[in-house]
């Protein structure tokens, strides 16, 4: 039996407005009724030898998994799928450093707010990146652009590192919360007059990825209290974990307006000849851990885990068994 989630119209968000509470603006997909004996992803990864959490714990510590066999292939397939989809959408790929200096962390708003969640190489005073947003956006620090250069669209795959201090309990089990994980990030620099139109386009891009992965998901427009202090408007994407019977956040798409560009001194010369601050936007497209968890749990059958059709050309197999 399949229960179909209702599709709801997108919420109209006035420029700079935030709701008083999180609002579900879109839901899509069918929540499957799993077969008897269905398992959560941490049991499936052990059964099919996809991820070894204990081995990662031995090498480094909790939250640093080792991907093996088809688990490693699935990771690589998802990364390439996300990069190819972003390329089709007009994003230029960049490979960026995994460590940044304090000026970069300040420019995008990680410092001095989130230093407790970042890994800090103190001897060299460098920080492991929590997201590719940080080095990609900082490519344009202290730059003056021309209005006709917009939009500037970059994407990048990186490992991401987060201490997740204070996170514990059943809700962080398995892939639900890691200290190191893979993510493809999309970043745009845009003219202030077009940044909210761009935000909607980025939201549609992430939506399209989840539809192609055949996952039930919803989109939330976050209230001011749940957004990061740097963001002016944020959409959160959540996939449904059938085995865990709860929603898992897998992406945030945000418009930062001029918060980052003011710190970065990222400006542009407009058609009127005046120098103004650009707007920055970014989004996860996508973060892998909870996508993998949802894929394994929602697509499991008594015979194995089926791979979505859009992903088969990348995995080169259509089932994990």
C-alpha dist (Å) from residue 304 to 7, 48, 293, 298, 316: 30, 9, 14, 11, 16
The answer to whether residue 265 is domain-embedded is yes
230: preceding bond cis by omega (within 30 degrees): no
Catalytic positions are 162, 177, 249, 252, 290
**Domain-embedded: residue 11:** no
If phi over 0 gives left and psi between -120 and 50 gives alpha, with beta otherwise, what is residue 312?
Answer: alpha
pLDDT for residue 258: 98
What pLDDT, on a 0 to 100 scale, did the predictor assign at position 113?
Answer: 82
Question: Residue 14 domain-assigned?
Answer: no
pLDDT score for 226: 79
CA distances from 298 to 19, 30, 178, 289, 301 (A): 31, 10, 21, 14, 9
Q: Give the ranges where the chain is alpha helix by DSSP (H).
A: 41-47, 53-59, 69-88, 102-108, 133-138, 195-212, 259-264, 288-298, 312-315
Number of helical H runs and strand E runs in the chain: 9, 21
Residue 317, Cα to own-chain centre: how many angstroms?
25
Q: Is residue 111 part of a domain?
A: no
Neighbours of 8 (CB within 10 A): 14
Q: What pLDDT score does 10 carry?
A: 43
Mean pLDDT per block of 10 residues along the chain (321 residues) reads: 36 56 93 90 97 97 97 98 98 98 97 91 98 98 98 98 70 88 98 98 98 97 85 96 91 98 98 97 98 97 97 98 96
Short-list 166, 180, 142, 170, CA closest to 61: 180
Which CATH number is 298's domain given? 3.30.930.10
Residue among 219, 213, 229, 224 nearest 199 (CA): 219
Distance from C-alpha of 143 to C-alpha of 84, rounded to nearest angstrom? 28
Question: Alpha-carbon distance 58 to 60, whole Å?
Answer: 6
Q: 205 and 71 in contact (C-beta within 8 Å)?
A: no
Inside any domain, residue 261:
yes
Domain membership of residue 109 (yes or no) is no
Cα 304 from Cα 238, distance rounded (Å): 24
Please tell me the predicted confidence (pLDDT) of residue 303: 96
Q: Is 108 a member of any domain?
A: no
What total number of domains does the chain contain? 1
Determine the pLDDT at residue 110.
95
Cα separation, 38 vs 45, in Å, equals 13
Asked whether residue 286 is domain-assigned, the answer is yes
What pLDDT, on the 0 to 100 scale, is given for residue 3? Answer: 34
What is the span of the domain harbouring residue 244? 22-95+129-315
Predicted pLDDT at 16 = 53
pLDDT at 225: 79
d(CA 117, CA 124): 18
Query: What is residue 227's predicted lDDT score, i.e. its pLDDT?
Result: 80
């Amino acid at each position: 039996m399949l229960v179909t989630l209702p599709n709801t119209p997108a919420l109209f968000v006035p420029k700079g407005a935030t709701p008083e509470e999180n609002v579900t603006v879109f839901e899509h997909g069918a929540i499957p009724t799993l077969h008897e004996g269905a398992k959560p992803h941490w049991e499936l990864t052990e059964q099919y030898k996809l991820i070894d959490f204990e081995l990662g714990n031995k090498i480094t510590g909790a939250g640093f998994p080792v991907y093996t066999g088809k688990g490693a292939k699935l990771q690589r397939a998802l990364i390439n799928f996300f990069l190819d989809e972003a390329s089709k959408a007009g994003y230029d790929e960049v490979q960026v450093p995994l460590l940044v200096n304090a000026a970069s962390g300040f420019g995008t708003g990680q410092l001095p707010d989130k230093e407790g969640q970042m890994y800090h190489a103190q001897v060299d005073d460098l920080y492991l990146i929590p997201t590719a947003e940080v080095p990609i956006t900082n490519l344009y620090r202290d730059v003056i652009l021309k209005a006709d250069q917009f939009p500037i669209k970059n994407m990048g795959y990186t490992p991401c590192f987060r201490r997740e201090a204070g996170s514990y309990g059943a809700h962080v089990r398995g892939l639900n919360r890691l200290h190191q994980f893979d993510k493809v990030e999309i970043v745009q620099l845009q003219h202030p007059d077009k940044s909210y139109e761009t935000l909607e386009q980025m939201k549609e891009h992430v939506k399209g990825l989840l539809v192609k992965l055949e996952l039930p998901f919803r989109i939330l427009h976050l209230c001011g209290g749940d957004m990061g202090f740097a963001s002016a408007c944020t959409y959160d994407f959540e996939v449904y974990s059938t085995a865990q019977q709860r929603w898992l956040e897998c992406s945030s798409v945000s418009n930062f307006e001029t918060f980052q560009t003011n710190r970065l001194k990222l400006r542009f010369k407009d058609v009127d000849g005046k120098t103004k601050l650009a707007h920055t936007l970014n989004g996860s497209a996508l973060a892998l851990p909870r996508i993998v968890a949802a894929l394994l749990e929602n697509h499991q059958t008594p015979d194995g885990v089926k791979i979505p059709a859009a992903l088969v050309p990348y995995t080169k197999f259509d089932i994990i068994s």
